[in-house]
Amino acid sequence: MKLSGTRAESYVKKPPTQELGVLFFGPDQGLCSERASSVASHWASDPNDPFAVTALSADDIANDPAKLSDEMSALSLLGDTRLIRLRLSHERNGAAIAKTIKAIDAAPHTSAAKLIIEAGDLSPRSAVRKCFEGAKHFTAIACYADTQASLASLVKSELEELGIKIERDALDALVPLLAGDRRMARSEIEKLALYKGYGAQEDAVLSLNDIKTLAAGAGASGLDDIVMGALSGNTLAADAAFNRAMAGKITPHSVLAALQRHLVRLHQATCLMNSGRSSEDAMRALRPPVFMMQKSAFAGQLRIWPETALSRAIASSLEVEKQMKSTGMPAQSLMGRLLLSLSAYAAKRKR
């Protein structure tokens, strides 16, 4: 069975007791881990108990193809249901896993355990993914990067639980920095909550200055270097910044989110200018307004990018986002190719 959207969220919050196993896969490994831990807390009285939970790796299955089948059928010494957690870093023996799942799905009474698999971004042709999606007693759930709307909701809800509010322009600046990995997003939210004393102070509010000071370490300036360089036609600078980001902890999904947000802001400003406003007025009208240090570069981009070109650039970014989520192609290569294309166009327009 394959679940997505609200059905997937409902499953994670309350996994069916009759279910035998679930596969979490996709580019957002933080979300995979978070969801797997949530399900484990329902299926095991103590997810950290080594007698109740068996941890396996992809290498364990590669070295012994019958390992998963043996573990699924082994009875607990205490008589309760065991939990098996398999972290699938590769699929060199995916056929053996698929064979085991299909056999148990056809005869569910032979299983004495429940199974949780965490995998990477599996393609639709993956043997493991296909067998879970086609099973009756097993479920496959894709874990794609949060949308900006869902991230904004996550930030607000997590902070509100601690009695901390966040200003709108601060939220707008924070969200693009968190895209790509749920684990990183929660880590940054935790950092902001700690900065505000976990709401110990009454009426604690996070401002834009707080975000500039704390959010994602050097990630914000790194993302700015990439996006501003590419859309200004500074190909070498953008490529160097992108390579530095990839060598660090910034994900291609974070870069894409920052790029999309900037393209939308350029498009909004261009539309205001087309209605008769000056570039200075258009930049002031944006929320949040363009940062003082970026005004010159932003104004230059407004001269480079007409509305039609910005619409095409936004469409291209959405296509890359779709490919990241569905094709299994390396996200870094897709993002690098998009940046090169945009910076080449901007460089040509500057001549």
d(CA 7, CA 16): 12
Specify the pairing of strand 82-88 against strand 113-119: parallel
Give the CATH fold of the 145-216 domain.
Helicase, Ruva Protein; domain 3 (1.10.8)
Q: Which residues of 87-101 are buried (b: 16+ CB within 10 A; e: fewer)?
A: bbeebebbebbbbbb
Reduce the DSSP state of residue 137 to 3 states and report it.
Answer: coil
Q: Which CATH class is domain 2-142?
A: alpha beta
d(CA 323, CA 47): 35
Tens-of-pLDDT digits for all 351 residues of the chain?
999 888 999 999 999 989 999 999 988 888 898 999 999 999 988 888 878 899 999 989 989 999 999 999 987 766 677 899 999 988 888 999 999 999 999 999 999 999 999 998 898 999 999 999 999 999 999 998 778 888 899 999 999 988 899 999 889 888 877 766 777 788 788 888 888 888 777 788 998 888 877 754 445 557 888 999 999 999 999 999 899 888 876 788 889 988 998 999 999 999 999 999 999 999 988 876 787 778 899 999 999 999 999 999 999 999 998 898 887 788 999 999 999 999 999 999 987
| Residue 28: predicted pLDDT | 82
List the chain domain ranges: 2-142, 145-216, 218-351
Contacts of 19 (CB under 8 A, 6+ apart): 114, 137, 138, 139
Give the Cβ contact number of residue 119 at 10 Å. 25
Fold agreement between 145-216 and 218-351: no
Tokens of 171: 């939220």
Reduce the DSSP state of residue 274 to 3 states and report it.
Answer: helix
Eight-class DSSP state of 267: H
Assign domain 218-351 one CATH number from 1.10.340.30, 1.20.272.10, 1.10.1060.10, 3.40.800.10.
Answer: 1.20.272.10
C-alpha dist (Å) from residue 107 to 19, 72, 124, 333, 343: 13, 12, 25, 43, 57
Contacts of 148 (CB under 8 A, 6+ apart): 175, 176, 179, 257, 261
d(CA 121, CA 329): 9
Dihedral pair phi/psi, residue 140, rounded to 5°: -115, 130
Residue pair 116/149 in contact by the 8 Å Cβ criterion: no
- Asked whether the CA dihedral 265, 342, 292, 181 is positive or negative, the reply is positive
Residue type, 61: I
What pTM, to 2 d.p., does this model score? 0.60
